[in-house]
A and B are shown apart, each in its own frame.
Chain A
Amino acid sequence: METKIINKQDLAKLIDGLISAGARTVAPVKVGQMHLFQEVRSPAEAVFDYFLARRSPKEFLFPQTEPIFSYTRQKDSVKIHPVDMAFPRTVVFGLRPCDAAGPGILDALFAWDYEDKFWFNRREQTAFVSMTCAQADHACFCSSVGLSPDAADTGADLHLTLLDDGQRYFVEAPTGKGKKLVSEFPSLFKPATDSDAAARGSAGEKAKGLITRKLDLSNVKQWLGSHFTDELWERLSAKCIGCGACAFECPTCHCFDFQDEATPEGGVRCKNWDSCCIDNFTLHASGHNPRNIQHKRYRQRIMHKFKYYIDKFGKTLCTGCGRCSRQCPVTLDIAEVLENIAAKAASGS
């Protein structure tokens, strides 16, 4: 893996350089009490000394609302206006490894039975620059799903680790896109020495130590396979209120719904985020709803993440970022659910 050093001023210059090169440059920005990924006009807007953005950066590949075509109705025909599929070059800075892991997990899905051009065209245009975590809380459990707070290779194109001096970042370029980004601004990246590599190693260890929540997921999938009905579901998720806060902040939730916004003269067909926890997610036109009560909807969320997706694509649909637990209005902690499942699986019930 190519390694370099970039100091804080040069990182600002890199952002500046990308902005002046016309790239859509995105970084965490402080909005009120939270941080959000937003396009920045100057490096000063970007905040890298932060915990985790409220929303995952999946929206840069898979926007919440995306027009897939528009149409106008003539007398007895409909005219379709396709959408321009050339998306702007985008560089997203300041992701955490759990955020960066999301797109890699979802590639398999968007390429599965139909190659989603909206996803892949954007993916091609987008580079992710992740950073080693400096903070974590008890909702974080990335190390339990095979990630780590300092992992460079989770899917980011560049990974930065702030070294002990607080001024220089150790740069790793795990992908071709990352190497290209480095070669685009050669003067900003300095060569890394062995002692820098050692310092990066110790910074990574420190970050790993931040993750206090360790879950044993080894038996979870198997248990899920044989416990579609179990008292656990209702016991743990009867309190779920059925909003979409968890899914809409999740780096891997990808369900969407097609909806038309139209007048009698024409309209736009949009692809909108949807969530399995919302009550009308599976509502049939007949009025029948196979998931007619909340714990069945929440079960789908767990099943999809920790069983179905693994069966189909071989990956866990969770990066352990903990957003869903933190933002849940009723503190339905996904890690607590997994702990309960693991305990049940271990006790053989």
Chain B
Amino acid sequence: MKKYFFKSVQISVFRVIRVPYLWLKNMSEQSENKKNESNGEWEPKIIAFVCNWCTYVGADMAGTGRMKYQANVRIIKVPCTGRIDPLFLMRAFERGADGILVSGCHPGDCHYNAGNYHARRRFAAFRKLIEFIGIDLRRLQFSWVSAAEGKKFVTIINEVTDAIRALGPCKEYQSMALEPPKDKVMPE
């Protein structure tokens, strides 16, 4: 509600506040964004949460096999998909991800026996929830990629990137990230 009051103010000071607030968008991406903006092209930013034992090795396999895939993905390695809390995915969106891929071992192959089974249930519910909130489910995808499936990894990354590129930036979340908490904040 409070944001509502300031809406008119915000629009006018939005440009001014942009600089100190860029950190919210994840500073490390700033330079890249600028580069892309200077080319006049937007590039999707995709975060992949992958498990240490299967998908990460699969990605490695793609690398050693010199297979090419689109460079929009940033990989975050976790021990197991069972370690991925929905909070990780929310935070990724908050920090400017346009799309997220969660990828782990095939059912039955989990290094810890059942981590991926638990993850599957958790995300089966979570994706329904955020779909209901209004996130396009093409932005949150899941896959099983084994250590031997370098090729599948390449295909999935390319497909996810293309899907997100077609969808455009995740404006819903990004507008939130840029919004100053209250009133106006100005640089020195």
Contact = CB atoms under 8 A, between A and B. Distances in A.
Given A70-B21, A72-B23, A263-B26, A81 B5 contact: no
Nearest to A68: B185
Contact of B180 (A59, A64, A67): A67
Contacts of B95: 263
6 contacts: A39-B7, A39-B8, A66-B183, A83-B183, A84-B184, A265-B28
Nearest to A70: B20
B171 interface: no
Interface residues of B, number: 24
Contact of A65 (B5, B24, B182, B184): B182
A278 interface: no
A83 B23 contact: no
A146 interface: no
Interface of A: 24, 26, 36, 38-39, 59, 63-67, 70, 72, 81-84, 87-88, 261-263, 265-268, 270
Contacts of B27: 72, 263, 265-266
B132 interface: no
Given A263-B23, A265-B27, A70 B5 contact: no
A1 B7 CA distance: 37
A267 B26 CA distance: 11
Contacts of B5: 24, 26, 38-39
Contacts of B41: none
B40 interface: no
A66 B3 CA distance: 11
Given A38-B1, A268-B181, 19 more contacts: A26-B5, A38-B4, A39-B5, A39-B7, A63-B182, A64-B2, A65-B2, A72-B20, A81-B185, A81-B186, A82-B188, A83-B183, A88-B9, A263-B26, A265-B23, A265-B28, A267-B23, A268-B180, A270-B181
A39 B23 CA distance: 29
Nearest to B7: A39
A84 B181 contact: no
Contacts of B187: 81
Contacts of A81: 20, 185-188
Nearest to A87: B183
A224 to B, nearest CB: 34
Contacts of B2: 59, 63-65
B27 to A, nearest CB: 4
Contacts, number: 72
Nearest to B16: A84
Nearest to A86: B184
Interface of B: 1-2, 4-5, 7-9, 20-21, 23-24, 26-28, 95, 180-188
B42 to A, nearest CB: 22
A119 to B, nearest CB: 13
A202 B24 CA distance: 57
Contacts of B185: 67, 70, 81, 83-84, 268
Given A70-B20, A265-B27, A270-B181, A36 B1 contact: yes
A82 B186 CA distance: 7
Nearest to B186: A84
A14 B69 CA distance: 63
A263 to B, nearest CB: 6
B23 A266 contact: yes
Contacts of B1: 36, 38
Contact of B182 (A39, A67, A262): A67
Contacts of A63: 2, 182-183
Contacts of A67: 180-183, 185
Q: Which 5 A-B pairs have the closest CB atoms?
A: A265-B27, A266-B23, A84-B186, A39-B5, A81-B20
A268 B188 CA distance: 14
Nearest to B180: A67
Contacts of B24: 263
Contacts of A82: 186, 188
Contacts of A263: 23-24, 26-27, 95
A170 B95 CA distance: 53
A46 B7 CA distance: 18
Contacts of A36: 1
Nearest to A24: B5
B24 to A, nearest CB: 7
A66 B188 contact: no
